[in-house]
Amino acid sequence: MNPKPSTNQNSSSGWLNRTVLGVGVTSLFSDWSHEIATAILPAFLATIGAGPAWLGAIEGIADGLSSFAKLGAGHYTDRLKKRKPLAVFGYAFTALATSSFAVATHAYHVLVGRAAAWLGRGVRSPAKKALLAADVAPGAYGRAFGLERLMDTVGAIAGPLTALWLLKITNHNYRAAFLWTLLPGTIAVLSFWLLVRERPLEAKRKLSFLHGLRNLPRNFREFLFGVGVFGAGDFSHTLLILYASRLLSPAHGIARAASLAVGLYTLHNVFYAASAYISGWVSDHVPQRKAILAGGYALAGFTAILMTTTPASLWILAILFVLAGVYVGTEEALEDSLAAELVSREQHGMAFGTLAAVNALGDFLSSLIVGILWSAFSAKAAFSFSAVLFFLGAFLIFRLRR
């Protein structure tokens, strides 16, 4: 493998280009679309008689299916001369599948729709990230991927706020709100199609899937192991919304508690957006990105420990949602930029696909296990399980070799 350039190389100019902006705008509207659905999903499931175990299963199974799609798409996109059509298809499929919640009458209908939506995300993810990495200098990976995460999270902020507005004007008509997700979802598809630049690629030698995996550098495989351990505890934050709703219900009532939980999730996403870009910027100006990522993982462990002892206080819950937003923003921006640094550009599709698959598999395990532990024992047991894996993941990333 060729020596990697330092993180400061070529980082001073030219990184904020048409592709970076196009990917960012697309991420904004796509996340806006599915975060409308995510914010109201726990309450909608409750209206059709589904509890925490169903929510954990829906999120976990959808993420598990997404993991296979990301892995296959990562291998496939490295063999294509044009990656852009695959990404456009993935965005369109996700938008349609998310809006299908509007016709769900049973929990398994939501499961099918969520799984289909996340299948579309899996297909588009490696191609999108490879297109982004191909159009910026290595010394600006942190800022480019951080900006993409920031824009994505602006959509995640707009989503819950839009959901609250839609529920208000429709008198809590969840199905109407799900249909509205089609509008930002369609804008996302058009933004990617019109703005993102496709750089021509040379014809590539056709490698088998297993050969492509074996060709990934050893330190990247060690990185994936650390990410996987952390991801096995990194539960879906729809469970965080449910956690806040249940703590606040005795004092505020079920309907008011649900609205407050969505408001807390919006606060979470504000700090998620800010930390994604700030951590990416910092990582472009320090000798080793891994220290920033390990710090984000450790913050996740600290947050999970606090969740095991949280009283039913709105202010303490607000602090927890802020900390959760900070660690998620750091985690997502730094995982992508560190992966891009560890692997040559010719292998970026496979690297991003493998990373996304490991994350999705971790999400599958964590959402499922945390949901089951919560239902069978308690929220304290569920979040204690996550805390142990968060700290172990931080240790593995911190000792990662360059």
Structure tokens at 214: 């074996």
Q: Are 294 and 398 in contact (CB under 8 A)?
A: yes
The string of pLDDT tens digits covering residues 140-195 is 788 888 888 888 878 877 888 898 888 888 877 888 889 999 999 999 999 999 99
Please give the C-alpha separations between residue 299 and each of 65, 143, 293, 321, 325, in angstroms, as whole numbers. 28, 21, 10, 12, 10
Q: What is the DSSP string of 207-273?
A: --HHHHHHTS-HHHHHHHHHHHHHHTT---THHHHHHHHHHHHHHH-HHHHHHHHHHHHHHHHHHHH
The string of pLDDT tens digits covering residues 40-51 is 887 888 787 776
CA 177 to chain centre: 22
Indicate whether this model's pTM tops 0.85. no
Q: Residue 91 has what pLDDT?
A: 94
Q: What is the spatial distance between Cα 90 and Cα 48, in angstroms, rounded to a whole number?
A: 29
Domains present along the chain, CATH in parentheses:
18-398 (1.20.1250.20)
The residue among 131, 122, 134, 147 whose CA lies nearest residue 196 is 131
Which among 183-192, 205-214, 224-233, 253-262 has the top mean pLDDT?
183-192
The residue among 379, 368, 296, 374 whose CA lies nearest residue 331 is 296
- Res. 202 pLDDT band, cuts 50 70 90: low
